[in-house]
Amino acid sequence: MSKLSKKSLIASTIAGALALTVSNFAAADALKDLQKAEEQIVKSSAKSQNKINGIYEQTQELLAEYRNVVDQADVLEGYNDHVQRMVDDQNANIASLERQIAGIDKIKQGVVPLMYKMIDTLEKFVELDVPVNLEPRKERIAGLRDVMSDSNVTTSEQFRLVLEAYEIEAAYGTIFDAYQAELDLGDKTITADFVHMGRVALIAQSLDYKNSWVWNNQSRSWEALGEEYNKGITDTIRMARQQLPMDLTKLPVYAAGAQ
């Protein structure tokens, strides 16, 4: 090989080395650009992922809120159904009460005259009955008439009082009792002890135990008794007052229909 050729070969080798070096520098720059691009892509990808995560979390929150609203709507619908049933029941009760009130007005139209008739009958009965505790019984009837004209007393309360008066009158037929009151003998009036066994016998005795009388409901008058009855009547009065134990005693009693 000639010297020129060797120089040319050396030059070519140097040129090739330079070219390779330049090529390596270019590749390094390209690699840096690529790495920067990749870093940018990674950063962009991370931002995108964060956005996706944020959107997902918002979606989950919205979904939870939606489900909560749906649940509340179901609860409200059930509660509204319950309230509607209560309203329907109340309306039915109101309608029933209105019908009852209308019926009460009709009942009053029949009950009020009946009560007046019952009071009149009771008054007549007391007049014809054995005069046991006569004054309180008359006062009770007068009180009933006052109640009937009192607008502040309800019809039901008026009727209750009338029935109560009937019950009290019925009880006189079974009560064994003694009390003190005025005795009208026609020509004079004295204070005396009275004792009655239901409506079977009504007897009076003077406070000095010396005189006794028995009520004759047929003649509507008091009849004097003999002295032989005084001791038995005194004992009977004491028994009624629980001052003596109950025992047999002799009392005058009018037989049914006796004159």
Q: With left for phi above 0 and alpha for psi between -120 and 50, is residue 186 left, alpha or beta?
A: left
Task: Name the H helices within 129-154.
Answer: 134-148
pTM over 0.85, yes/no: no
The vertex-160 CA angle with 141 and 110, nearest 5°, equals 90
Which pLDDT score, from 0 to 100, does residue 43 have? Answer: 79
Q: For residues 53 and 45, give the distance between their C-alpha atoms in angstroms, rounded to a whole number.
A: 12
pLDDT at 247 over 90: no
Instruction: Measure Cα distances from 241 to 196, 214, 251 in Å.
Output: 12, 19, 17
**Per-residue pLDDT at 69:** 79
pLDDT score of 238 more than 50: yes
Over residues 58-72, mean pLDDT:
82
Predicted pLDDT of residue 249: 82
pLDDT at 87: 85
At 1, is the pLDDT very low, low, confident or very high (cuts 50, 70, 90)? very low
Can you list the alpha helix ranges (DSSP code H) found in 134-225?
A: 134-148, 155-171
pLDDT surpasses 80 at 147: yes
Distance CA 58, CA 60 (A): 5
Scored b (16 or more CB within 10 A) or e, 45-75 reads: eeeeeeeeeeeeeeeeeeeeeeeeeeeeeee
Q: What is the mean pLDDT of residues 203-218?
A: 94
Please choose, from the candidates 157, 161, 160, 128, the residue with its C-alpha nearest in 3D space to the C-alpha of residue 142: 161
Residue pointed to by tokens 């025992």: 247
- Residue with the two structure tokens 């008054």: 123
173: tokens are 């037929």
- Give the mean pLDDT of the chain: 83
Rounded mean pLDDT of 108-120? 89
Instruction: Note the pLDDT of residue 101.
Output: 63
Report residue 177 as tokens.
Answer: 């009792």
| Per-residue pLDDT, 255 | 54
Q: CA-based angle 135:191:177, to the nearest 5?
A: 60
Residues 103-118: what's their mean pLDDT?
82
